[in-house]
Structure 1
Amino acid sequence: MQNLQHWGEKLAAFGSDISRRNALALQPHPEQAHKPPLRRMLGELGSPAEVWGEMLRRRRAGQAYARAAIPRPVMLLPGFGTRPSRMHHMARSLENAGHRVSDWGLGFNLGPTEERFDLLLSRIEAMARKEREPLALVGWSLGGIFAREAARHAPASICKVITMGTPFSGHRRANNAWRAYQWVTGHEVENAPVASDLAPKPPVPTIAIWSPRDGVVHPRSACGRAGERDRAIPVRCNHLSFASHPGVIVEVLRQLDVDE
């Protein structure tokens, strides 16, 4: 009887949690939060073809990635709902160029918690000690939020931050992903347990790579304003292409070679 009561309480709590998450996901989109139009969002479905087409074009043209002028230890941080393997092509390309690449060590990026953020900071600091030099962090979308926030807490262990399609500027809901984010994490985007104010620039060189064709994050949110990053670099790709698009990899390699 006690077991039945125990399981009944667990089911009731589970149902309550699902209802709460559904309510978070069904909140109305604020009129002042401009998001990419539906046609761009639907355009994200063509991301695999976009990447493969650009890879084929470069192969036929005999174009190779440049060797690193300044080989660095680099950590790649995946986007929301993705795991490090989604950045495998970028990792391999940076390694072939001469950089020493690692992933963030936290598996799927299912949003921030204080525990996960502390684990990330510990990993960054440990790797910086092992490498005997600070790391460059390259973060895709939500991974870039983690990277910017890590640089605020551990600037001595981080030499620069490169974000790709990261929504750090303007309204927190200026994107097409906030509802999914709120359902998965169980909290509103404005009440994240780690970062309270995303816009101020971290105390390290910070480069924002953004795309006017982004169908998930509004370009202005990923580009940022003067004072919120050091440089903003436009590329032409879909949001879901950032992690493997050759044009983005070329730009990441170029920015890693900048001796700030």
Structure 2
Amino acid sequence: MSSFAIVLEDYRLVPPYADAIASFWKGRFAGGPPAAERPPLQHLLGNASMPFDLARTKAQAASLAATIKGDGRQLLLLPGLLASEHRMEPLRAILEAAGFEAHGWGMGRNFGPRVDSLHQIDRRVDQIRRSNGEPVTLIGWSLGGLFAREYAKFARGKVGGVVTMGTPFSGDPRANHAWRIYQLVSGFPVDRPPFTCRREEKPEVPTVALWSRRDGVILPECARGRAGERDHAIEVDCTHMGFAVAPEGILAVGRALETMRG
């Protein structure tokens, strides 16, 4: 659930979300549930490095693809809150070049959960599986990772594994800098999405959680999870935005996929 996902394709603020930011900062000091621990402000501000991370990835794209060992698996990439498929394109293109069959989720910008979100993902997975019927591995960034974990419980037989990138599936759902924006955009309380959700329950498929001490948006321990909530956790040296666009984040996804392969 990325508060910095409002910095979109051309790194400018989209006007309709200006009110969301104002509400977010005002809400930090408003009444409501007891304040949860959140990442330090300097780490949150570190996410402004996203354009530089993206530039590094574009310059290193060929070597990144050569480093990652693809095996033809079908992958579905799910973006974070307020992000679109465009934000996942650098990762998708490199995974494709590395030898995977990587797909966008086909649902436009992620405006948070809807009653039919899992059913929409199910339709997309069915489209991907038409070629060979094999399970699809889900790679979800932030909120997209929550969707991936819940979908894997919803349709276990169609999922080969789940990789989460800075996804707050463990601990307090308010232990981050994004939950108020999530509630404003989605219209649902952060702890009561419109479909059955058991965040901390591990899906019955291989799961790898990517997390970072420098995340800045999500509290690291919430994205790392505890034993029994995921199979493996891999620390990544990147910001929250970097999971999707920085070389370190992209290489970590490749490592996670290799870990699943055994």
Task: Give the TM bin, normalised by the shorter chain.
Answer: 0.7 to 0.9
Call closer, same or farther: CA 1:236–1:187 in 2, change over 3 Å.
same
Contact kept? 1:125, 1:154, Cα under 8 Å: no
- SS of 2:245 mapped into structure 1: coil
* Match in the other structure for 1:45: 48
2-structure distance, mates of 1:39, 1:101: 34
* Match in the other structure for 1:121: 122
What displacement does 1:242 show? 1.0
* Match in the other structure for 1:245: 246
1-structure distance, mates of 2:254, 2:49: 25
The alignment's C-alpha RMSD in Å is 2.3
* Match in the other structure for 2:72: 71
Call closer, same or farther: CA 1:254–1:84 in 2, change over 3 Å.
same
**Aligned partner letter, 2:261:** D
Contact kept? 1:48, 1:241, Cα under 8 Å: no
* Match in the other structure for 1:174: 175
**Pairs within 5 Å for 1:1-260:** 26=27, 28=31, 30-31=33-34, 33-53=36-56, 56=59, 58=60, 65-66=66-67, 68-257=69-258, 258-260=260-262
Call closer, same or farther: CA 1:59–1:210 in 2, change over 3 Å.
same
Call closer, same or farther: CA 1:28–1:44 in 2, change over 3 Å.
farther
Call closer, same or farther: CA 1:155–1:196 in 2, change over 3 Å.
closer
Contact kept? 1:114, 1:194, Cα under 8 Å: yes
In the alignment, structure 1 segments of 5+ residues that lack a partner are 1-17
**Aligned partner letter, 1:226:** A
Call closer, same or farther: CA 1:121–1:66 in 2, change over 3 Å.
same
Contact kept? 2:50, 2:245, Cα under 8 Å: no
Call closer, same or farther: CA 1:250–1:125 in 2, change over 3 Å.
same
2-structure distance, mates of 1:131, 1:159: 13
What displacement does 1:146 show? 0.5
What displacement does 1:71 show? 1.8
Call closer, same or farther: CA 1:29–1:55 in 2, change over 3 Å.
farther
Contact kept? 2:125, 2:136, Cα under 8 Å: yes
Contact kept? 2:70, 2:95, Cα under 8 Å: no
Structure 1 ranges of 4+ moved more than 6 A? none
In the alignment, structure 2 segments of 5+ residues that lack a partner are 1-18
1-structure distance, mates of 2:109, 2:135: 24
Normalised TM-score (structure 1): 0.84
Contact kept? 1:70, 1:256, Cα under 8 Å: no
Call closer, same or farther: CA 1:36–1:249 in 2, change over 3 Å.
same
**Aligned partner letter, 2:180:** R
Q: How many residues align?
A: 237
What displacement does 1:80 show? 0.4
Output one character per residue of 1:142-201: Cα deviation in whole Å (capped at 9) or x when no partner: 000000001001111110100000010000101000011111111210111124320010
